[in-house]
Amino acid sequence: MDVTFVLNIDQIQPSQLFISSSKLKKIMQRFDTSESFRLPPIPIKMLDGEYVATDGHTRLLAWFLSGYTNIDCVWEDIEMDWDEYRIYVQWCKEEGIRSIVDLEHRVITPNEYQSLWLDRCRELQISRMQK
């Protein structure tokens, strides 16, 4: 079992530009039923000297919206394309996203999420494979 640790929410750099409204609604319902304690911790990778969320952005926003400032995290143990994640983080910084607070007003419909985020990521992955 992975050991969890706690970070202040402001210490975590997102690697995602948007949040799906339907995913957020489902997670927020868990807070309404006191099931929030069963949410998995946020996977974190130390990338270029920053704590970067590799997944769990919707959970992270839900914790923030519910008034939490300290979040349970776990070190990311899956090997990923970290150069790709650097690009995601760069996109976030270019859009002024430096913490989950900055995603509060970037909650969009599932269709928008698909076209604005998932398709953009897929295009990046395809272009990197073609090089």
Per-residue CA distances from 90 to 6, 96, 114 (Å): 25, 10, 20
117 DSSP 8-state letter: I
Section 2-26 average pLDDT: 96
Counted domains in the chain: 1
37: pLDDT confidence band, cut at 50, 70 and 90?
Answer: confident
What is the overall mean pLDDT for the chain?
A: 93
Query: In this predicted structure, what is the pLDDT of residue 36?
Result: 66
What's the CA gap between 125 and 84, in Å, rounded? 8
CATH code, domain carrying 105? 3.90.1530.10
Residue 9: which pLDDT band, with cuts at 50, 70 and 90? very high
Predicted TM-score (pTM) of the model is 0.91
Length of the chain: 131
The whole-angstrom separation of Cα 18 and Cα 116 is 8
Taking each continuous run of H as one helix and of E as one strand, the counts in the chain are: 5, 7
Task: From 26, 100, 33, select the one nearest 63 (Cα to Cα).
Answer: 100
**What pLDDT score does 58 carry?**
97
Longest dimension (CA), the chain: 48
The rounded distance, in Å, linking the Cα atoms of 63 and 101 is: 11
Q: Which range marks the domain in which residue 78 is found?
A: 4-129
Q: pLDDT tens for residues 48-60? A: 999 999 999 999 9
Among positive and negative, which fits the CA dihedral 58, 63, 65, 69? negative
